[in-house]
Amino acid sequence: MKVLAATLATVMLLAGLALVPLPAGAADQEIPLTIEKNRFEPAEIKVKAGAPFVLVITNKDKSAEEFESKDLKIEKVIAGGKTVKVKVPALKAGTYKFVGEYHEATAQGRIVAE
Amino acid sequence: MGGTFLITLREAFEAALLLGLVYTYLDKIDARQHFGWVSLGGALGLAASIAMGVTVAYFSGPLVDLGPDVIAAAVIFLAVILLTWHAWWMQRHARGISGEVERRIEHARRTQRLWMVGLIAFTGVFREGAETVIFLWGLMAEATSAAGWGSVAAGVAGVGSAALLGWMIFRGGRRLSLARFFTVTTVLLIFLAAGLFSTGIGRLQSLGVLPMMAPLWDTSWLLSDSSVVGSFLAGLLGYRERPSPLEAAGYAAYLVVVGSVILGGAWRRPQPATAVRAGASR
């Protein structure tokens, strides 16, 4: 049992270590996204399917916002007045919704990959 | 304002649950003098959350963009390992409970690595702590009016309510018998860890380490993750409204493999102490 627990731990550690050498992906397209008055601008983003890209999210509000997409498995807190880059892996064609978790009533948008 | 309360309650819930459980656990094995390990772990988790929150709020650059995500994923898998370990350990000691409680407690105290319990407290607080710090910070930055300060108060009240919940778990857990507490907690921890494991897989997908996939199902119409019930089920059992096939498979695999290894032992009777006693009574 101890051996099993140790093996399990090692496997998980390795999975964690696999994270470290992340590819740089310098050529990925950067797409701006602004948060202002608890809304996303633009609310709809068109991207090419099959190509990874970088969302450059600028929060112009004073309050923090959490960019959250259940479809993309991304949760990213952006402090007030900050800009954060979020790498998005290549997407299959389709619509991917995202929200601002702290102001979900107004902060809504989607990414359309085609 | 109500939304603010729910957001911080949701973020702090998991930390409160874990702190409540480990404090109760130490109380159960008569190791209250080691409460300090849990408090230290929780305090370090809070300090790390504030440090991370300040870093993210004041600095920017590629390291700040990516660093928190990598750290978050690492913390998730660390928590899975710790919780698995603890659940396994507890279950081993919950077996053959009919016997001498005091001897078992003594054994538990001698063999348990108490810093592990402290580390559980650390990961519990740190996992969502930085987000809560940034959120509250933003509220305070915005709080120039009475309504603004009301939001801050609601946010603080959310964290406070989560802490109260942890305290209630502590009070309630103390009343359970040792055997029942160990069994209930073991099962709870297995589900919690399974949910975390699938969350971790999702993070690896968003980081591009694992491939992105279309959701296996969508039950957001039935029970949304961000509703009160949905978010508590997400924290406790790992409920997802739109899981990827990998997340769902990871969850199921964890439950089946770890669940059967840990709980499977409960149906066997390998406890030497029990065997000896059974022999003596014959």
The structural domains of chain B, with segments of one domain joined by +, span 2-271
Given this model, what pLDDT does residue B95 score?
63
* Residue percentage of chain A with pLDDT more than 90: 45
Q: Is residue A17 less than 8 Å (CB to CB) from chain B?
A: no
| Paired sense of beta strands A44-47 and A53-59, if any | unpaired
Going by C-beta distance under 8 Å and a sequence separation of 6 or more, which residues neighbour residue A26? none
The full set of domain ranges for chain A reads 28-113
* Residue percentage of chain B with pLDDT more than 70: 86
Does the pLDDT value for residue A24 go beyond 60?
Answer: no
pLDDT in tens, B58-107: 888 888 888 888 999 999 999 999 999 999 888 877 665 555 666 666 66
pLDDT in tens, A42-51: 999 999 988 8
pLDDT in tens, B161-202: 999 999 999 999 988 888 888 888 999 999 999 999 999 999
What is the average per-residue pLDDT within B258-277? Answer: 62
Separation of alpha carbons B168 and B174, rounded Å: 10
CATH topology of domain A28-113: Immunoglobulin-like (2.60.40)
pLDDT in tens, B2-39: 678 988 998 899 899 999 999 998 888 888 888 999 99
Determine the distance in angstroms separating the CA of B214 from the nearest CA of chain A, rounded to an integer: 8
Given this model, what pLDDT does residue A92 score?
86
pLDDT in tens, A93-111: 889 999 998 888 899 999 9
What is the average per-residue pLDDT within B206-233? Answer: 84
8 Å CB contact of B57 and A70? no
Separation of alpha carbons B10 and B13, rounded Å: 5
Q: Hey, is B264 helix, strand or coil?
A: helix
In A, residues 55-94, which contact B (CB 8 Å cutoff)?
61-66, 70-77, 79-80, 82-92, 94
Does the pLDDT value for residue A21 go beyond 50?
Answer: no
Asked if B103 and B277 touch (Cβ cutoff 8 Å), the reply is: no
Given this model, what pLDDT does residue B155 score?
92
